[in-house]
Amino acid sequence: MMRNIALALIILAAVGLLSAIVSVLMESTILGISAEQFSRICSNLALISIALAVWFKKVSISE
């Protein structure tokens, strides 16, 4: 379950990064959001997904 949420956040981060690139190439904003804001959004989403993956990682104990 948490793996799916982390994967969705990674996909959203990738979309945010692509939006930042497009915004820079067009030299304008997209929906009033600048390239720097898209970059910050995708960084935050990626960090949240990493935190979720680490927090809910199943620990396997081999005996």
Q: Kindly state the tokens that stand for 1.
A: 């379950």
Place of tokens 């997209």: 30
Q: Is residue 60 part of a domain?
A: no
Q: Which domain holds residue 14?
A: 2-55
Q: Is residue 48 part of a domain?
A: yes
**Number of independent structural domains in the chain:** 1
What share of the chain in percent tops pLDDT 90?
Answer: 0
Q: Is residue 21 part of a domain?
A: yes
Q: Is residue 62 part of a domain?
A: no
Confidence band (pLDDT; 50, 70, 90) for 62?
very low
Q: Is residue 41 part of a domain?
A: yes
**Contact, 23 vs 30, CB < 8 A?**
yes
Place of tokens 């904003």: 29
**Contact, 5 vs 37, CB < 8 A?**
no
pLDDT of residue 63: 41
Q: Kindly state the tokens that stand for 44.
A: 């935050």
For the residues 20-44, what does the mean pLDDT come to?
82
Q: Is residue 61 part of a domain?
A: no
